[in-house]
Amino acid sequence: MNSIAITRRVASIALFTLVAGCASGPEVRVTADPAANLAAYHTFNYVTPLGTDREGYESIVSTALKEATTAELTRRGYRVADSPDFLVNFGARLDDRLRVTKVPVAGPPLGYYFYRRGFYDPWYGYNDVDVDQYTEGTVNIDIVDAAAKRLVWESIAVGRVTERMRNDLPGAIRKVVPQMLATFPSAGGGAAPEPPAR
């Protein structure tokens, strides 16, 4: 393999790694009912049972989501009440994913096809295939108008779940919930406050 081919191969791997690294955080999507008057809300509580509860008891995920969400909403001026303006519900799931990426190579590809090196080259425009098997996590935070019993705001976070996250679910939830509620207004319709310094 000549030095130009090696340089191109290293550059393509570096670019792929950089792009993959930038996509490591969760993607957060927010949808709001345009007819909802979020400025009228001052109090909240939680749906019973939560969508993340197990049969007959509160799960570890539910407990962590409630703690993180209560902290964020309280920081925005809302307070917990028995007859709240809105209710909060959660959803969460894990899915196994398989991502196949074609990486163009300028010379003989590495990996499994390394056995070809020195004997014959692939045709022009040949692609090396990278197969990535991973777990994808999805978390929903639903804001439900308590009187109308209607979903008025939702935030969905989707991202890769690492082994480290699995081993510290409360810690992972404490990081993602502020991102999910970043655009939710303060009590009385004020602008969302700046996140606390980490």
Per-residue pLDDT at 132 exceeds 70? no
On whether the CB atoms of residues 158 and 136 are closer than 8 A, the answer is yes
Tens of pLDDT along 157-176? 998 888 888 788 899 999 99
Q: What is the CATH number of domain 26-99+131-187?
A: 3.30.160.670
Average pLDDT over residues 119-145: 73
88-117 pLDDT tens trace: 999 988 666 666 666 666 555 555 555 556
Instruction: List residues bridging with 161 in a β-sheet.
Output: 135
If pLDDT is split at 50, 70 and 90, which confidence band does 183 have? very high
Residue 186: partners with Cβ closer than 8 Å, 6 or more residues away: 76, 77, 192, 193
pLDDT per residue over 14-63, tens digit each?
A: 333 233 333 457 999 999 999 999 999 999 999 999 999 988 899 999 99
- How many Å is the maximal CA-CA distance in the chain? 76
| Token reading at 184 | 């939710």
Q: Are strands 43-46 and 79-80 parallel, antiparallel or unpaired?
A: parallel
136 within 8 A of 159, measured Cβ to Cβ = yes
Question: What would the DSSP string read from start to end of the chain?
Answer: --HHHHHHHHHHHHHHHHHHHHTTSPEEEEEE-TT--GGG--EEEE-SS-TT-BTTB--HHHHHHHHHHHHHHHHTT-EE-SS-SEEEEEEEEEEEEEEEEEEE-SSS--GGGGGGTTT-PPPTT-EEEEEEEEEEEEEEEEEEETTTTEEEEEEEEEEEEPHHHHHTHHHHHHHHHHHHTTTSPPGGGPPPPPPPP-
- Amino acid found at 192: A
Task: Tell me the C-alpha distance between 109 and 102, whole Å.
Answer: 12
